[in-house]
Chains A and B, each alone.
Chain A
Amino acid sequence: MPENFLFYIVFLSQIILISFYYPRQILSRIAYVLRTFPASKYPKLYPKQVAFYEIGQSIYRVVNHLILALGFIVLIAIASWDSGSSGKVSEAIPVAYFFVQMIPLFIMEFSGFAYFKLMRKADMRTKRKADLLPRRLFDFISPLVFVAAVIMFLSCIGFFYSLHQFKIDWSNDTFTILLTQLATNLLFAGIIYWNLYGKKIDPYQDGNDRLKQVEVTIKSLFFMSIASSLFLMIFEAIDEFNLDYFEPALMSGYFQFILFIGLGSMLRNQRIEDMNFDVYKEDAATI
Protein backbone atom coordinates (compact mmCIF):
# COMPACT_ATOMS: atom_id res chain seq x y z
CA MET A 1 0.00 0.00 0.00
CA PRO A 2 1.38 3.44 -0.82
CA GLU A 3 0.28 4.71 2.62
CA ASN A 4 2.88 2.41 4.13
CA PHE A 5 5.68 4.21 2.31
CA LEU A 6 6.14 6.66 5.18
CA PHE A 7 6.56 3.72 7.54
CA TYR A 8 9.32 2.22 5.36
CA ILE A 9 11.34 5.41 5.51
CA VAL A 10 10.89 5.87 9.26
CA PHE A 11 11.56 2.18 9.98
CA LEU A 12 14.70 2.27 7.82
CA SER A 13 15.83 5.22 9.89
CA GLN A 14 15.11 3.21 13.09
CA ILE A 15 17.22 0.30 11.82
CA ILE A 16 20.17 2.51 10.86
CA LEU A 17 20.06 4.93 13.80
CA ILE A 18 19.75 2.38 16.62
CA SER A 19 21.65 -0.59 15.20
CA PHE A 20 24.32 1.14 13.15
CA TYR A 21 24.85 4.84 13.94
CA TYR A 22 24.75 4.78 17.75
CA PRO A 23 26.65 1.46 18.10
CA ARG A 24 29.34 2.86 15.81
CA GLN A 25 29.60 5.97 17.99
CA ILE A 26 29.82 3.87 21.14
CA LEU A 27 32.46 1.57 19.65
CA SER A 28 34.54 4.52 18.48
CA ARG A 29 34.41 5.94 22.03
CA ILE A 30 35.56 2.61 23.48
CA ALA A 31 38.34 2.34 20.85
CA TYR A 32 39.43 5.93 21.64
CA VAL A 33 39.65 5.15 25.36
CA LEU A 34 41.58 1.91 24.80
CA ARG A 35 43.97 3.68 22.43
CA THR A 36 44.48 6.96 24.31
CA PHE A 37 44.41 5.73 27.89
CA PRO A 38 46.35 2.43 27.93
CA ALA A 39 46.37 0.13 30.94
CA SER A 40 50.11 0.74 31.43
CA LYS A 41 49.46 4.41 32.28
CA TYR A 42 45.87 4.26 33.50
CA PRO A 43 45.66 0.99 35.47
CA LYS A 44 42.68 2.08 37.59
CA LEU A 45 40.58 2.21 34.43
CA TYR A 46 40.99 -1.50 33.85
CA PRO A 47 39.94 -3.69 36.79
CA LYS A 48 40.23 -6.64 34.37
CA GLN A 49 42.67 -7.52 31.58
CA VAL A 50 42.37 -5.27 28.49
CA ALA A 51 41.65 -8.36 26.36
CA PHE A 52 38.38 -8.79 28.28
CA TYR A 53 37.15 -5.36 27.12
CA GLU A 54 38.30 -6.02 23.56
CA ILE A 55 36.26 -9.24 23.48
CA GLY A 56 33.23 -7.35 24.85
CA GLN A 57 33.70 -4.73 22.15
CA SER A 58 33.76 -7.43 19.42
CA ILE A 59 30.65 -9.15 20.79
CA TYR A 60 28.81 -5.82 20.90
CA ARG A 61 29.78 -5.12 17.28
CA VAL A 62 28.71 -8.59 16.04
CA VAL A 63 25.37 -8.54 17.89
CA ASN A 64 24.54 -5.12 16.46
CA HIS A 65 25.45 -6.25 12.94
CA LEU A 66 23.14 -9.25 13.34
CA ILE A 67 20.30 -7.02 14.55
CA LEU A 68 20.97 -4.63 11.68
CA ALA A 69 20.71 -7.53 9.20
CA LEU A 70 17.53 -8.72 10.91
CA GLY A 71 16.07 -5.24 10.49
CA PHE A 72 16.69 -5.26 6.76
CA ILE A 73 15.17 -8.76 6.48
CA VAL A 74 12.07 -7.57 8.36
CA LEU A 75 11.81 -4.49 6.12
CA ILE A 76 12.10 -6.56 2.92
CA ALA A 77 9.58 -9.10 4.28
CA ILE A 78 7.05 -6.32 5.05
CA ALA A 79 7.54 -4.77 1.60
CA SER A 80 6.97 -8.18 -0.09
CA TRP A 81 3.83 -8.81 1.96
CA ASP A 82 2.63 -5.25 1.40
CA SER A 83 2.73 -5.48 -2.41
CA GLY A 84 0.03 -8.16 -2.37
CA SER A 85 -2.06 -6.85 0.50
CA SER A 86 -4.28 -3.93 1.33
CA GLY A 87 -3.81 -3.89 5.07
CA LYS A 88 -1.72 -1.59 7.20
CA VAL A 89 1.54 -2.65 8.83
CA SER A 90 1.10 -3.65 12.44
CA GLU A 91 2.63 -1.20 14.94
CA ALA A 92 3.81 -4.26 16.87
CA ILE A 93 6.63 -4.66 14.31
CA PRO A 94 8.61 -1.48 15.17
CA VAL A 95 7.90 -2.14 18.88
CA ALA A 96 9.17 -5.74 18.78
CA TYR A 97 12.18 -4.77 16.70
CA PHE A 98 12.97 -1.87 19.03
CA PHE A 99 13.11 -4.25 22.00
CA VAL A 100 15.49 -6.50 20.06
CA GLN A 101 17.61 -3.44 19.27
CA MET A 102 17.74 -2.54 22.94
CA ILE A 103 19.26 -5.92 23.94
CA PRO A 104 22.92 -4.92 23.28
CA LEU A 105 22.36 -1.60 25.06
CA PHE A 106 20.90 -3.32 28.12
CA ILE A 107 23.76 -5.83 28.17
CA MET A 108 26.23 -2.96 27.94
CA GLU A 109 24.45 -1.10 30.75
CA PHE A 110 24.53 -4.13 33.05
CA SER A 111 28.17 -4.82 32.12
CA GLY A 112 28.85 -1.21 33.10
CA PHE A 113 27.47 -1.83 36.58
CA ALA A 114 29.61 -4.97 36.94
CA TYR A 115 32.65 -3.02 35.68
CA PHE A 116 32.23 -0.24 38.26
CA LYS A 117 31.61 -2.80 40.98
CA LEU A 118 35.01 -4.33 40.21
CA MET A 119 36.53 -0.85 40.23
CA ARG A 120 35.09 -0.15 43.68
CA LYS A 121 36.34 -3.50 44.93
CA ALA A 122 39.85 -2.74 43.71
CA ASP A 123 39.81 0.71 45.30
CA MET A 124 42.04 0.49 48.39
CA ARG A 125 42.32 4.20 49.17
CA THR A 126 41.69 5.15 52.77
CA LYS A 127 41.02 8.82 52.04
CA ARG A 128 37.66 9.88 50.66
CA LYS A 129 36.71 13.21 49.21
CA ALA A 130 33.39 14.97 48.71
CA ASP A 131 32.24 18.35 47.58
CA LEU A 132 30.65 20.49 50.29
CA LEU A 133 28.12 21.89 47.82
CA PRO A 134 24.57 20.55 47.73
CA ARG A 135 23.30 19.04 44.49
CA ARG A 136 19.74 20.25 43.94
CA LEU A 137 17.36 19.56 41.11
CA PHE A 138 17.14 23.15 39.92
CA ASP A 139 20.92 23.44 39.74
CA PHE A 140 20.68 21.11 36.77
CA ILE A 141 17.36 21.90 35.15
CA SER A 142 15.39 25.06 34.60
CA PRO A 143 12.17 25.34 36.65
CA LEU A 144 10.42 26.05 33.33
CA VAL A 145 11.30 22.58 32.02
CA PHE A 146 10.05 21.08 35.29
CA VAL A 147 6.76 22.98 34.99
CA ALA A 148 6.47 21.99 31.31
CA ALA A 149 6.87 18.29 32.22
CA VAL A 150 4.17 18.55 34.92
CA ILE A 151 1.81 20.44 32.56
CA MET A 152 2.37 17.86 29.81
CA PHE A 153 1.66 15.01 32.24
CA LEU A 154 -1.57 16.64 33.42
CA SER A 155 -2.55 17.56 29.85
CA CYS A 156 -2.04 13.98 28.75
CA ILE A 157 -4.30 12.63 31.51
CA GLY A 158 -6.82 15.41 30.86
CA PHE A 159 -6.78 14.69 27.13
CA PHE A 160 -7.61 11.00 27.64
CA TYR A 161 -10.16 11.91 30.28
CA SER A 162 -11.96 14.28 27.90
CA LEU A 163 -11.89 11.76 25.03
CA HIS A 164 -13.66 9.26 27.24
CA GLN A 165 -16.51 11.60 28.22
CA PHE A 166 -14.83 12.53 31.55
CA LYS A 167 -15.24 9.02 32.93
CA ILE A 168 -12.54 6.92 34.54
CA ASP A 169 -13.16 3.21 34.87
CA TRP A 170 -11.16 0.03 34.53
CA SER A 171 -12.37 -0.59 30.99
CA ASN A 172 -11.16 2.60 29.30
CA ASP A 173 -7.69 3.88 28.34
CA THR A 174 -7.64 6.80 30.78
CA PHE A 175 -6.98 4.55 33.75
CA THR A 176 -4.26 2.57 31.92
CA ILE A 177 -2.59 5.77 30.69
CA LEU A 178 -2.76 7.31 34.15
CA LEU A 179 -1.06 4.28 35.67
CA THR A 180 1.52 3.93 32.89
CA GLN A 181 2.44 7.60 32.94
CA LEU A 182 2.58 7.63 36.73
CA ALA A 183 4.84 4.56 36.77
CA THR A 184 7.10 6.00 34.04
CA ASN A 185 7.44 9.35 35.76
CA LEU A 186 8.01 7.73 39.15
CA LEU A 187 10.77 5.64 37.61
CA PHE A 188 12.33 8.79 36.13
CA ALA A 189 12.01 10.54 39.51
CA GLY A 190 13.77 7.59 41.18
CA ILE A 191 16.63 7.72 38.67
CA ILE A 192 16.96 11.48 39.16
CA TYR A 193 17.01 11.08 42.96
CA TRP A 194 19.63 8.35 42.69
CA ASN A 195 21.76 10.56 40.44
CA LEU A 196 21.51 13.53 42.78
CA TYR A 197 21.98 11.84 46.13
CA GLY A 198 22.98 8.25 45.43
CA LYS A 199 26.37 6.61 45.73
CA LYS A 200 29.05 7.38 43.18
CA ILE A 201 29.30 4.30 41.00
CA ASP A 202 32.74 5.18 39.61
CA PRO A 203 34.90 5.70 42.71
CA TYR A 204 37.55 7.69 40.83
CA GLN A 205 35.29 9.89 38.71
CA ASP A 206 36.24 13.57 38.66
CA GLY A 207 33.76 15.84 40.48
CA ASN A 208 33.08 18.02 37.43
CA ASP A 209 32.56 14.99 35.20
CA ARG A 210 30.04 13.68 37.68
CA LEU A 211 28.13 16.97 37.71
CA LYS A 212 28.08 16.96 33.93
CA GLN A 213 26.77 13.38 33.90
CA VAL A 214 24.03 14.24 36.41
CA GLU A 215 23.01 17.26 34.34
CA VAL A 216 22.82 15.30 31.08
CA THR A 217 20.83 12.49 32.74
CA ILE A 218 18.33 14.83 34.41
CA LYS A 219 17.76 16.89 31.27
CA SER A 220 17.30 13.73 29.17
CA LEU A 221 14.76 12.28 31.60
CA PHE A 222 12.72 15.48 31.74
CA PHE A 223 12.63 15.71 27.95
CA MET A 224 11.71 12.01 27.76
CA SER A 225 8.83 12.60 30.15
CA ILE A 226 7.57 15.51 28.02
CA ALA A 227 8.01 13.43 24.84
CA SER A 228 6.12 10.43 26.25
CA SER A 229 3.13 12.60 27.26
CA LEU A 230 3.12 14.29 23.86
CA PHE A 231 3.46 10.98 22.01
CA LEU A 232 0.54 9.40 23.86
CA MET A 233 -1.70 12.35 23.01
CA ILE A 234 -0.71 12.30 19.33
CA PHE A 235 -1.15 8.52 19.22
CA GLU A 236 -4.62 8.74 20.73
CA ALA A 237 -5.60 11.61 18.41
CA ILE A 238 -4.53 9.54 15.37
CA ASP A 239 -6.67 6.69 16.66
CA GLU A 240 -9.60 9.00 17.26
CA PHE A 241 -9.48 10.54 13.77
CA ASN A 242 -9.06 7.15 12.06
CA LEU A 243 -5.54 7.89 10.81
CA ASP A 244 -4.37 4.42 11.82
CA TYR A 245 -1.92 4.22 8.93
CA PHE A 246 0.37 6.64 10.70
CA GLU A 247 0.57 4.53 13.87
CA PRO A 248 3.52 2.25 12.92
CA ALA A 249 5.54 5.20 11.55
CA LEU A 250 4.74 7.29 14.61
CA MET A 251 5.69 4.44 16.94
CA SER A 252 9.02 3.97 15.16
CA GLY A 253 9.65 7.72 15.16
CA TYR A 254 8.89 7.91 18.87
CA PHE A 255 11.49 5.24 19.74
CA GLN A 256 14.10 7.05 17.69
CA PHE A 257 13.28 10.33 19.35
CA ILE A 258 13.55 8.75 22.81
CA LEU A 259 16.96 7.31 21.94
CA PHE A 260 18.00 10.64 20.42
CA ILE A 261 17.27 12.57 23.62
CA GLY A 262 18.57 9.79 25.87
CA LEU A 263 21.60 8.02 24.47
CA GLY A 264 22.16 10.63 21.76
CA SER A 265 22.24 13.44 24.27
CA MET A 266 24.76 11.53 26.40
CA LEU A 267 27.01 10.94 23.38
CA ARG A 268 26.77 14.57 22.27
CA ASN A 269 27.18 16.28 25.63
CA GLN A 270 29.56 14.00 27.51
CA ARG A 271 32.49 14.13 25.17
CA ILE A 272 35.28 11.70 26.01
CA GLU A 273 37.85 14.38 25.13
CA ASP A 274 36.47 16.65 27.87
CA MET A 275 36.61 14.04 30.63
CA ASN A 276 39.39 13.91 33.19
CA PHE A 277 41.14 10.55 32.85
CA ASP A 278 44.10 11.53 35.04
CA VAL A 279 42.13 10.22 38.02
CA TYR A 280 42.72 6.68 36.68
CA LYS A 281 46.51 7.01 36.66
CA GLU A 282 48.54 4.90 39.05
CA ASP A 283 50.18 7.96 40.59
CA ALA A 284 46.95 9.98 40.77
CA ALA A 285 46.29 11.65 44.12
CA THR A 286 45.16 9.20 46.77
CA ILE A 287 41.80 10.93 46.88
Chain B
Amino acid sequence: MDITIDIEDSAPLFAQLVEQIKEAVLKDKISPGAPLPSIRQLANDLRLNSKTVAKAYRLLERDSVIQTRGYRGTFIHPDAKINCTVDLGEWVIAKLSDAISELRDGGVTDSEIRIAFGNLMNKRTI
Protein backbone atom coordinates (compact mmCIF):
# COMPACT_ATOMS: atom_id res chain seq x y z
CA MET B 1 0.00 0.00 0.00
CA ASP B 2 1.56 3.27 -1.13
CA ILE B 3 1.10 6.72 0.29
CA THR B 4 1.56 9.87 -1.78
CA ILE B 5 2.06 13.43 -0.67
CA ASP B 6 2.19 16.57 -2.77
CA ILE B 7 4.51 19.22 -1.38
CA GLU B 8 2.74 21.91 -3.42
CA ASP B 9 -0.74 20.99 -2.22
CA SER B 10 -2.46 23.64 -0.12
CA ALA B 11 -3.26 21.04 2.56
CA PRO B 12 -0.55 20.73 5.22
CA LEU B 13 1.75 17.73 4.79
CA PHE B 14 0.75 16.15 8.12
CA ALA B 15 -2.94 16.50 7.16
CA GLN B 16 -2.28 14.75 3.83
CA LEU B 17 -0.68 11.87 5.72
CA VAL B 18 -3.56 11.65 8.21
CA GLU B 19 -6.16 11.72 5.44
CA GLN B 20 -4.45 9.07 3.34
CA ILE B 21 -3.95 6.66 6.22
CA LYS B 22 -7.61 7.08 7.22
CA GLU B 23 -8.66 6.59 3.61
CA ALA B 24 -6.57 3.42 3.36
CA VAL B 25 -8.27 2.07 6.50
CA LEU B 26 -11.74 2.96 5.26
CA LYS B 27 -11.13 1.36 1.85
CA ASP B 28 -9.71 -1.80 3.50
CA LYS B 29 -6.36 -1.26 1.84
CA ILE B 30 -4.81 -1.70 5.26
CA SER B 31 -6.32 -3.93 7.89
CA PRO B 32 -6.62 -3.55 11.69
CA GLY B 33 -3.48 -4.75 13.46
CA ALA B 34 -1.29 -4.15 10.40
CA PRO B 35 2.12 -2.67 11.22
CA LEU B 36 3.05 0.82 10.03
CA PRO B 37 6.53 2.10 9.17
CA SER B 38 8.47 3.90 11.87
CA ILE B 39 8.39 7.70 11.90
CA ARG B 40 12.00 7.82 10.71
CA GLN B 41 11.43 5.39 7.85
CA LEU B 42 8.34 7.18 6.55
CA ALA B 43 9.96 10.62 6.94
CA ASN B 44 13.07 9.51 5.03
CA ASP B 45 11.07 7.76 2.30
CA LEU B 46 8.93 10.84 1.75
CA ARG B 47 11.86 13.22 2.31
CA LEU B 48 9.95 15.00 5.07
CA ASN B 49 10.94 16.25 8.49
CA SER B 50 10.44 13.58 11.17
CA LYS B 51 8.37 16.08 13.18
CA THR B 52 5.79 16.26 10.37
CA VAL B 53 5.31 12.48 10.36
CA ALA B 54 5.36 12.41 14.18
CA LYS B 55 2.58 15.01 14.22
CA ALA B 56 0.47 12.96 11.80
CA TYR B 57 1.01 9.81 13.90
CA ARG B 58 0.14 11.72 17.09
CA LEU B 59 -3.17 12.90 15.61
CA LEU B 60 -3.98 9.41 14.33
CA GLU B 61 -3.20 7.97 17.75
CA ARG B 62 -5.40 10.57 19.42
CA ASP B 63 -8.24 9.54 17.10
CA SER B 64 -7.53 5.85 17.90
CA VAL B 65 -6.81 5.06 14.28
CA ILE B 66 -3.35 3.79 15.14
CA GLN B 67 -1.75 2.58 18.34
CA THR B 68 1.87 2.49 19.48
CA ARG B 69 2.98 -0.70 21.22
CA GLY B 70 6.28 0.41 22.74
CA TYR B 71 9.40 -0.88 21.01
CA ARG B 72 7.32 -3.22 18.81
CA GLY B 73 6.22 -0.26 16.71
CA THR B 74 3.04 1.34 15.46
CA PHE B 75 -0.02 -0.60 14.32
CA ILE B 76 -3.47 0.08 12.92
CA HIS B 77 -5.97 0.19 15.82
CA PRO B 78 -8.42 -2.77 15.99
CA ASP B 79 -11.34 -0.27 15.86
CA ALA B 80 -9.67 2.00 13.34
CA LYS B 81 -12.43 1.71 10.73
CA ILE B 82 -15.14 2.96 13.12
CA ASN B 83 -12.86 5.58 14.60
CA CYS B 84 -11.98 6.94 11.16
CA THR B 85 -15.58 8.00 10.69
CA VAL B 86 -15.53 10.14 13.82
CA ASP B 87 -14.99 13.71 12.71
CA LEU B 88 -13.58 15.72 15.57
CA GLY B 89 -13.93 18.90 13.52
CA GLU B 90 -17.71 18.49 13.33
CA TRP B 91 -17.87 17.71 17.04
CA VAL B 92 -15.89 20.90 17.85
CA ILE B 93 -18.24 23.00 15.70
CA ALA B 94 -21.32 21.49 17.34
CA LYS B 95 -19.95 22.11 20.85
CA LEU B 96 -18.89 25.69 20.10
CA SER B 97 -22.23 26.44 18.39
CA ASP B 98 -24.07 25.37 21.55
CA ALA B 99 -21.79 27.49 23.72
CA ILE B 100 -22.09 30.55 21.46
CA SER B 101 -25.90 30.24 21.37
CA GLU B 102 -26.01 30.06 25.15
CA LEU B 103 -23.74 33.11 25.49
CA ARG B 104 -25.78 35.13 22.97
CA ASP B 105 -28.98 34.18 24.82
CA GLY B 106 -27.33 35.53 27.95
CA GLY B 107 -26.73 38.88 26.22
CA VAL B 108 -23.00 38.57 25.52
CA THR B 109 -21.96 40.36 22.29
CA ASP B 110 -20.04 38.63 19.47
CA SER B 111 -16.95 40.80 20.00
CA GLU B 112 -16.93 39.90 23.71
CA ILE B 113 -17.15 36.22 22.79
CA ARG B 114 -14.27 36.59 20.29
CA ILE B 115 -12.06 38.40 22.82
CA ALA B 116 -12.81 35.86 25.56
CA PHE B 117 -12.21 32.96 23.18
CA GLY B 118 -8.95 34.49 21.96
CA ASN B 119 -7.76 35.10 25.51
CA LEU B 120 -8.56 31.57 26.56
CA MET B 121 -6.81 30.07 23.56
CA ASN B 122 -3.75 32.24 24.14
CA LYS B 123 -3.58 31.27 27.79
CA ARG B 124 -3.98 27.58 26.94
CA THR B 125 -4.78 27.00 30.59
CA ILE B 126 -7.74 24.79 29.83
A-to-B contact residues, CB < 8 Å: 126-135, 196-200, 207, 287
Contact = CB atoms under 8 A, between A and B. Distances in A.
Contacts, number: 62
7 contacts: A127-B6, A130-B2, A130-B3, A130-B45, A132-B37, A132-B42, A197-B40
A130 B36 contact: no
A207 B6 CA distance: 18
Interface of B: 1-8, 21, 24, 30, 35-38, 40-42, 44-48, 73
B6 A126 contact: yes
Which 9 A-B pairs have CB atoms at the shortest separation, nearest pair first?
Answer: A130-B45, A126-B8, A134-B37, A132-B1, A199-B44, A197-B41, A130-B46, A128-B46, A129-B4
Contacts of B6: 126-128
B7 A126 contact: yes
Interface residues of chain B: helix, strand, loop or mixed (majority): mixed
A135 B35 CA distance: 10
A134 B35 contact: yes
A100 B4 CA distance: 45
Nearest to A210: B45
Nearest to A207: B2
B37 A135 contact: yes
B37 A133 contact: yes
A174 to B, nearest CB: 33
A132 B3 contact: yes
A207 B5 CA distance: 16
Given A127-B7, A134-B35, 5 more contacts: A126-B8, A128-B6, A131-B2, A131-B45, A199-B47
B45 A200 contact: yes
Contact of B73 (A128, A134, A287): A134
Contacts of A134: 35-38, 41, 73
A130 B21 CA distance: 12
A197 B45 CA distance: 8
Nearest to B76: A132
B30 A132 contact: yes
A199 B1 CA distance: 19
B3 to A, nearest CB: 5
A130 B36 CA distance: 12
A200 B46 CA distance: 9
A207 B37 CA distance: 14
Contacts of A127: 4-7
B44 A132 contact: no
A27 B38 CA distance: 38
A268 to B, nearest CB: 27
B46 A131 contact: no
A200 B37 CA distance: 15
A132 B2 contact: yes
B73 A132 contact: no
A120 to B, nearest CB: 9
Given A130-B37, A134-B73, A200 B5 contact: no
A129 B30 CA distance: 16
A135 to B, nearest CB: 6
